[in-house]
Chain A
Amino acid sequence: MEPVLQVKDLKTSFLTSSGEVQAVRGVSFSVNKGESVGIVGESGSGKSVTSLSVMQLLTGTGKIVGGSVKLNGRELVGIGTKEMRSIRGKEVAMIFQDPMTSLNPLLPVGEQVSEMLWAHEKDLSRADREARVAELFRMVRIPEAEKRLKSYPHEFSGGMRQRVMIAMALACKPDLLIADEPTTALDVSIQDQILKLMRSIQREIGMSIMFITHDLGVVAELCNRVIVMYGGLIMEQADILDLFEHPCHPYTMGLLASIPDINQDKQKRLQPIMGSPPDMIHPPKGCPFSPRCPYACRVCLEELPPIYTAGEGHVSRCWLLDADAPAADNPLSYAKGGKRG
């Protein structure tokens, strides 16, 4: 079956006065129907830019400089703005990080959701649209949905606003929902509610989700598959259980080690990943993670590692997986020698 979204060798850059910031440097992945894929990485890893590239919502100097993005088999790179508008919101919708600022403060929330229907389902009357919005509000469990249509964003809490954003994104039943850190700006208790809501809605209507986050815990709750990004590249891609049980990249291992564990010995300190992300105007020649990697060898600094297969549907971009990598002191020796792809 054809995947809903197929991204091949996507490259996105920002042309600034101090040089070309290569935010995404050749990323390939796909999202199948009904699947939820998590994209994980720290700030500046290129995960948000990847999603904005798919939506073609890059602002300012941001530009897709290469590669292909196919949605339902249709190429989106180089598509006309008008055609892209008819896809945006209808076939692929997005929810954003900060619900406090993502809604227009001067318009009633019902009207803002209704605008999505107005844009893509022209034959609906005003009354039809209102009924549909009320239905959507009930679906995202906004209490007293009918009454809340005329409310303004400032009359809602953060969690309720994010529900409005979700209702807006789902209005035209898109095939793919891109969620860019939808829970990061919310309280932990509200985060959990929103994640549960998204999971139940996904089950209900069977859409695909591309979930961008820096929180592996959130990914574990919602996603089937995980993509780990660093320095504008995909470092590792695996099924969710596989990734937690057999991480095949030192960066993923670092991420996992920095999650607090409730059973952990209180005396033991959390393990941070030392150092800071690379400068994307002059990205390192070798593996972007090598300056921070505790296992880095000379080859890591000099040459970008190829992608190795570490198992069924499990790929990783790390020299430690090479058949010629030293066995001693190699944390990945169990997965060594996979196919180079």
Chain B
Amino acid sequence: MSRYLIRRVLTMIVTLFMIALLTFCLMHIVPGSPFTSQKQMSQAVLDALNAKYNLDDPLWKQFFDYMRGVLHFDFGPSYKYTGKTVNDFIESGLPYSARLGLVTLCFVLLTSIPMGIVAALRNGKWQDMLLMFLATFGVTIPSFVIATGLLYIFSFKLGWTPVYGVDTWKGYILPMIAMGGYSISFLARLMRSSLLEVMGQDYIRTARAKGISEVRVIWKHALRNALIPVITVLGPTIANLLTGSFVIEKIFAIPGMGGYFVNSVTQRDYTTIMGMTIFYATVLIAMIFLVDLFYCLIDPRIKYE
């Protein structure tokens, strides 16, 4: 087990390094620089700026200098917002993104899994049809359309929820629904098909042959088996939700990390692009790693050697 863990951590570091390198290359291939603007700057000013931020160094040196900073959790200064560092952006944005993400995650888990279970157990009946209709709705309609619709009805027409911001708990409701919509639908469908498959397995018939109640057959024998595929997709889902959806944050004017990320790309704010990408990638990889470890707990057949 410990050998597996060491190997896993090493591969994670290599993966992160490759992601950083790729992002760095792509970022420099794209024309423009942080200091390109409509107002022509004199060559002397540009040279001075480039010198200040070491942008006149060879690219490989810039890359390794940056990566050395990352090792010390220093993602560098922003080139566009004087006096701000990328760490500042993460520190100010992460609490909002993470809080919204956690709330949404709980909401997603508490709705999608029961929905999937009910749909599977009422397979072919009206409950199943209704839930799967909603789920199809959820995966096909983009989140920004759902968000705008919700805003129009609940904030503008009914006035139940604030139009923007998360100053009160009510502010979380609509972003949570809009952001979770896709994951709920996706996970509910997955849970349904997985449980349906498990219910047809021989060991379910064995359990029934023991004369135990149907509730116990489902709870003790079917659910754990049916959850395995759901857990597999949970890693990326959690990372996605915790780090925030740019679009949703934009629509509801939530000062999360997403906005900084999108702006940094259009503005060629090199350090911010790098910092945010590395941060996102780390969270994603860590979540997948956690899920893999979680498998051990639920499935005795999986042993990491």
**A interface residue numbers (CB < 8 A to B):** 55, 57, 59, 84-90, 93-94, 96, 98, 101-108, 112, 115-116, 118-120, 152, 154, 165, 168
Q: Is the pair B209, A57 in contact by a Cβ cutoff of 8 Å?
A: yes
Question: Across the interface, which residues of A come within 8 angstroms of B203, CB to CB?
Answer: 101-105
Q: Is the pair B300, A154 in contact by a Cβ cutoff of 8 Å?
A: yes
The 7 closest A-B pairs by CB, nearest first: A89-B211, A88-B211, A101-B202, A104-B203, A85-B211, A152-B300, A102-B202
Residue pairs across A and B with Cβ atoms less than 8 A apart, 23 shown, are A57-B208, A85-B212, A86-B211, A93-B209, A94-B209, A96-B202, A101-B201, A101-B202, A102-B203, A102-B205, A105-B203, A105-B300, A105-B301, A106-B224, A106-B298, A107-B220, A115-B212, A116-B210, A119-B212, A152-B301, A154-B300, A165-B206, A168-B206
Question: Across the interface, which residues of A come within 8 angstroms of B211, CB to CB?
Answer: 84-90, 116, 119-120
Question: Across the interface, which residues of B come within 8 angstroms of A165, CB to CB?
Answer: 206
Q: Is the pair A88, B207 in contact by a Cβ cutoff of 8 Å?
A: no
Chain B at the A interface: SS class:
helix
In this assembly, does B80 line the interface, its C-beta being within 8 Å of a C-beta of chain A? no
Q: Is the pair A106, B206 in contact by a Cβ cutoff of 8 Å?
A: no
On whether A104 and B210 interact (CB within 8 A), knowing A57-B205, A96-B202, the answer reads no
How far, in Å, is A122 (CB) from chain B's closest CB? Answer: 12
Residue of B nearest to A103 (CB): B203
A89 to B120, CA, bound (A): 26
Residue of B nearest to A111 (CB): B220
Question: Across the interface, which residues of B come within 8 angstroms of A104, CB to CB?
Answer: 203, 206-207, 221, 225
Question: Across the interface, which residues of B come within 8 angstroms of A84, CB to CB?
Answer: 211
B103-122 CB mask vs A (1 if < 8 Å, else 0) is 00000000000000000000
On whether A88 and B301 interact (CB within 8 A), knowing A104-B203, A106-B224, the answer reads no
A57 to B202, CA, bound (A): 12
How far, in Å, is B98 (CB) from chain A's closest CB? Answer: 32
Which residues of B in the span 189-237 have a Cβ within 8 Å of any Cβ on A? 200-203, 205-213, 220-221, 224-225
Taking A116-B210, A152-B300 as known contacts, 19 extra A-B pairs with beta carbons closer than 8 A to each other, sorted by chain A number, are A57-B209, A85-B212, A87-B211, A88-B209, A88-B211, A89-B210, A96-B202, A98-B202, A101-B202, A101-B203, A102-B202, A103-B203, A104-B203, A112-B206, A115-B212, A119-B212, A120-B211, A165-B206, A168-B210
A88 to B202, CA, bound (A): 16
How far, in Å, is A82 (CB) from chain B's closest CB? Answer: 8
Q: Is the pair B299, A106 in contact by a Cβ cutoff of 8 Å?
A: yes
How far, in Å, is B199 (CB) from chain A's closest CB? Answer: 9
Question: Across the interface, which residues of A come within 8 angstroms of B205, CB to CB?
Answer: 57, 59, 96, 102
Question: Across the interface, which residues of B come within 8 angstroms of A98, CB to CB?
Answer: 202
A119 touches which of B202, B210, B221 (Cβ 8 Å): B210
Residue of A nearest to B206 (CB): A102
Question: Across the interface, which residues of A come within 8 angstroms of B209, CB to CB?
Answer: 55, 57, 88-89, 93-94, 96
How far, in Å, is B216 (CB) from chain A's closest CB? Answer: 8
Question: Across the interface, which residues of B come within 8 angstroms of A106, CB to CB?
Answer: 224-225, 298-300
How far, in Å, is B231 (CB) from chain A's closest CB? Answer: 13
